[in-house]
C-alpha cells in the first residue's frame, strides 16, 4: 500500500516516485499513478550509466491505483517490470496514447481496462477529467507521446508535460488556467532542459511549477538551481515546489 494522508475538500496529496513518476491521492480516496519507474530495467537494457541513482521508493507489488496514466512508450515511463507485479489489474483503468495501449495489450492487460486517448481527446474516470495534450516528440519511435491535464472533483487542475522537446506552441495550454504544472527539466535525449522548461512555464503561467525527470539516473546532470534561477528571472509570480522522494506534498486549490 502506498501512503495515505487526511485531505480537506480543496486539497490533493502527491508523492514523487522519482523520474516522472507521481502518486496522487484525492480527498475521496481515489488513487492515481502516472509513469512510475520502479525497477533498474533501463540499466539492464542500456548499460551501467543508466543505472538508478536513488533507491526504488516502493515495490510495484505494493501499488494499488484506481487510475494508471502513461504518457508514452519509453521504458522509464512504461516499464513492464513495474506494471506486471501490480495486483488487481482487472480493477485498474489504464490510460494512454496509441503506443501505450498497444504495449499494454501485448502485456495481456484486458482491453476493457485500457482507455486510449491521444492529444486533444479526453475521458472521465471516477469523476476525474483527464485530457491528453500535445507534447513535442523526442524521437521518431514515439510520435504519439502526450502530456496530461487532469481536473479533479474539487476543480484543482494539474498539467503533466510528459517527455517533450521545447516548443513555444505549448503556450496554448495557458487557456486551461493550470494550478500546478509538473515539467520535465533533464535536457537529455531531446527533452526540455532547465532553461527551456522555465521558458515554457513562463508562457503557460501556472500558479505553481514542480520540476520532474531529474536526479534519478546516474547519467542525469540536471541542475535544479539553474531551473529555479531562470524561472525567477522569467516569471517571479509562479511559485516553485521542489519534490523530494516519497515526501508528501499537499496541493491546494486556489494557492
**C-alpha pair distances (Å), 31 with each of 47, 65, 246:** 33, 5, 15
Is 80 exceeded by the pLDDT of residue 1?
no
**C-alpha pair distances (Å), 81 with each of 42, 52, 56, 195:** 11, 15, 13, 33
- CB within 8 Å of 49: residues ≥ 6 apart: 218, 219
- Residue range 58-76: average pLDDT? 96
pLDDT of residue 35: 98
How does the average pLDDT of the chain come out, rounded?
96
What's the pLDDT band for 253 if we cut at 50, 70, 90? confident
pLDDT of residue 88: 94
Pick from 14, 4, 5: nearest CA to 180: 14
User: Residue 240 and residue 209: Cα distance in Å, rounded?
Assistant: 5
CB distance 188 to 220 below 8 Å:
yes
pTM above 0.95, yes or no: yes
pLDDT of residue 254: 67
User: Residue 158 and residue 145: Cα distance in Å, rounded?
Assistant: 18
How do residues 179-225 score in pLDDT, each as one tens digit?
999 999 999 999 999 999 999 999 999 999 999 999 999 999 899 99
- Residue range 149-168: average pLDDT? 98
Is 90 exceeded by the pLDDT of residue 4?
no
Class of domain 11-244: alpha beta
- Residue range 34-41: average pLDDT? 97
Pick from 237, 236, 192, 240: nearest CA to 213: 192
How do residues 68-88 score in pLDDT, each as one tens digit?
999 999 999 999 999 999 999
How do residues 103-140 score in pLDDT, each as one tens digit?
999 999 999 999 999 999 999 999 999 999 999 999 99
Q: Edge-to-edge strand order for the sheet containing 31-34? A: 114-116, 93-96, 67-69, 31-34, 21-25, 11-18, 249-252
- Residue range 26-32: average pLDDT? 97
Spans of all domains in the chain: 11-244
CB distance 76 to 219 below 8 Å:
no
CB distance 253 to 180 below 8 Å:
no
Is 80 exceeded by the pLDDT of residue 40?
yes
User: Residue 132 and residue 35: Cα distance in Å, rounded?
Assistant: 14
Write down the H helix ranges in 28-179.
41-46, 80-83, 98-106
User: Residue 18 and residue 217: Cα distance in Å, rounded?
Assistant: 9
Amino acid at each position: 500500500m502506498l501512503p495515505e494522508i487526511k485531505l480537506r475538500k480543496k486539497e490533493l496529496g502527491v508523492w514523487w516516485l522519482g523520474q516522472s513518476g507521481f502518486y496522487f491521492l484525492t480527498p475521496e480516496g481515489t488513487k492515481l499513478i502516472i509513469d512510475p519507474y520502479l525497477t533498474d530495467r533501463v540499466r539492464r537494457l542500456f548499460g551501467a550509466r543508466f543505472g538508478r541513482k536513488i533507491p526504488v521508493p516502493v515495490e510495484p507489488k505494493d501499488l494499488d491505483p484506481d487510475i494508471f496514466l502513461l504518457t508514452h512508450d519509453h521504458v522509464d515511463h512504461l516499464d513492464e517490470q513495474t506494471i506486471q507485479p501490480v495486483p488487481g489489474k482487472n480493477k485498474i483503468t489504464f490510460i494512454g496514447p496509441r503506443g501505450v495501449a498497444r504495449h499494454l495489450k501485448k502485456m495481456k492487460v484486458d482491453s476493457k481496462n485500457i482507455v486510449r486517448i491521444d492529444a486533444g481527446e479526453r475521458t472521465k474516470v471516477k469523476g476525474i477529467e483527464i485530457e491528453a495534450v500535445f507534447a513535442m516528440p523526442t524521437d521518431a519511435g514515439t510520435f504519439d507521446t502526450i502530456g496530461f491535464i487532469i481536473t479533479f472533483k474539487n476543480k484543482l487542475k494539474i498539467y503533466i508535460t510528459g517527455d517533450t522537446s521545447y516548443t513555444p506552441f505549448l503556450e496554448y495550454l495557458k487557456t486551461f488556467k493550470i494550478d500546478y504544472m509538473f515539467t520535465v527539466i533533464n535536457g537529455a535525449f531531446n527533452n526540455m532542459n532547465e532553461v527551456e522548461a522555465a521558458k515554457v512555464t513562463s508562457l503557460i503561467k501556472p500558479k505553481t511549477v514542480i520540476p520532474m525527470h531529474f536526479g534519478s539516473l546516474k547519467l542525469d546532470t540536471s541542475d535544479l538551481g539553474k531551473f529555479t534561477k531562470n524561472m525567477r528571472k522569467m516569471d517571479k509570480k509562479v511559485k516553485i515546489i521542489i519534490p523530494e522522494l516519497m515526501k508528501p506534498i499537499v496541493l491546494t486549490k486556489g494557492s
